[in-house]
């Protein structure tokens, strides 16, 4: 869609139908002003509607656009940004996020109490911190997220069991 001409004070309606056939970009000329998009999905599947502002003169016929998977309830808790922003928040079951297939990892340093007694609090704490750093690196490298740490234990999540 190209904007051309004088601004229109009346909202313009653009009808878009998502059907069985795949269509490339549709180019129309519209006047600058308010646009209302009327979307119709004639399939039982979800569709995607995208509005992109592209530079003038760009040959859109040669462009292939791919999108990363959308964020959903399964992906949300596994995102580091979400965990950083909402570290103290919990998602309650009745809030409508259903996660059925997710991989969890639990670790615990065996004999850590004896380790603290044997080498002292400061040295043992430094080893536990190294343990956390190593796990954080490995978990991140395999597309996981640390959900929480308790004492010397780590709980992490992965979107796919094969990511572990």
Task: Walk me through the domains of the chain, giving residue ranges and CATH numbers.
Answer: 2-62 (no CATH), 76-163 (3.30.70.1230)
Alpha carbons 163 and 142: distance in angstroms, whole number: 5
Angle at Cα 38 formed by Cα 30 and Cα 31, nearest 5°?
10
**Is residue 99 predicted with pLDDT exceeding 70?**
no
Cβ(99)–Cβ(74) below 8 Å: yes
Alpha-carbon distance values, 80 to 62, 83, 91, 157 (Å): 35, 5, 15, 11
Cβ(74)–Cβ(102) below 8 Å: yes
**130 falls in which pLDDT band (50, 70, 90)?**
very high
**58 falls in which pLDDT band (50, 70, 90)?**
confident
Which of 32-36, 57-61, 87-91, 129-133 ranks highest by mean pLDDT?
Answer: 129-133
DSSP E strands, the chain: 2-3, 8-18, 29-30, 33-41, 103-107, 144-150, 153-158
DSSP state of 151: T
Alpha carbons 91 and 72: distance in angstroms, whole number: 13
| Mean pLDDT for the stretch of residues 85-109 | 71
Regarding pTM above 0.95, the answer is: no
List, for residues 20-43, the tens digit of each pLDDT value: 666 666 667 888 888 888 888 888
With residue 141 as reference, give the H or E element that holds it. Answer: helix 121-141
């Amino acid at each position: 869609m190209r904007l051309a001409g004088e601004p229109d004070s009346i909202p313009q309606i653009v009808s878009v139908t998502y059907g069985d056939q795949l269509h490339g970009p549709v180019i129309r000329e519209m006047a600058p002003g308010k646009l209302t998009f009327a979307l119709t999905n004639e399939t039982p599947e979800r569709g995607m509607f995208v509005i992109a502002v592209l530079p003038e003169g760009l040959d859109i016929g040669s462009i292939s656009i791919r999108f990363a998977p959308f964020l959903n309830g399964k992906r949300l808790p596994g995102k580091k940004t979400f965990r950083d922003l909402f570290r103290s928040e919990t998602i309650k079951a009745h809030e409508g996020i259903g996660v059925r297939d997710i991989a969890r990892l639990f670790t615990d340093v065996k004999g850590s109490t004896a380790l603290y007694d044997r080498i002292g609090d400061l040295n043992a704490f430094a080893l536990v911190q190294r343990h956390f750093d190593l796990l954080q690196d490995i978990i991140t490298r395999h597309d996981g997220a640390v959900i929480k740490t308790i004492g010397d234990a780590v709980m992490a999540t992965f979107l796919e069991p094969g990511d572990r």
